[in-house]
A and B are shown apart, each in its own frame.
Chain A
């Protein structure tokens, strides 16, 4: 199993540019999560999907951020326009949701985003 795959691993961009982060969840998983990690705020949940449908996006910081999951094997997190305060490590995680059961999340290696 390849695990959760994220790309790119590193992204450096200038303020105002559009940034797209990509995630491929583990095959067979039906829930997908996007997190952001900074020194100041730690690990924050941005959004999560179940069966490709966004369930809770209350963690998305503002309208500049958007996330999509067009199918079970692919998700994107887009920032447009990007700002220096968006610099962080962005993690994608996936899991298998089963009714009434507790289950673990598997995280990808992360994308380190630097906005100058």
Chain B
């Protein structure tokens, strides 16, 4: 299984873009990169995922490097409600099913 490395914490100013890095140097060709977040006392929330192309949705953008060994989640205009733990996860290939292994994540604090 590919492992991920994220910084334990980061701060961001409200209204600014938040760039969350993730390293996954052992990712294999058919593994996806997922991002989830968990706001305090709530269940994890899916944000975005990608294989090798950059992706964007209403919540965030995902930039994956060409060699796929790292990625960056971008929250374009961070708000106080974006304060959460953000998890970068690589899909574990297991037959036709999968499991998501949550690591420690990055605790993002958005400050006014």
Contact = CB atoms under 8 A, between A and B. Distances in A.
A71 interface: no
Interface stretch (A12-20, A61-69, A74-82, A97-105): A97-105
B102 A43 contact: yes
A50 B43 contact: no
| Interface of chain B, main secondary structure | loop
Contact of A97 (B41, B43, B49, B97): B97
B10 interface: no
Contact of A107 (B34, B43, B91): B43
Interface string A85-110: 00000010100010110101111111
A100 B94 CA distance: 12
How big is the A interface, by class?
Answer: 20 to 34
Given A43-B44, A109-B42, A102 B97 contact: no
Nearest to B48: A104
A48 B91 contact: no
B97 A55 contact: yes
Contacts of B101: 45
B91 A50 contact: no
A106 to B, nearest CB: 7
27 contacts: A4-B43, A31-B97, A42-B102, A42-B104, A45-B99, A48-B97, A50-B97, A56-B97, A56-B99, A91-B44, A93-B43, A93-B44, A97-B97, A102-B34, A102-B91, A104-B49, A105-B44, A105-B46, A105-B100, A106-B46, A107-B43, A107-B44, A108-B43, A109-B42, A109-B43, A110-B41, A110-B43
Interface of B: 32, 34, 38, 41-46, 49, 51, 91, 94, 96-104
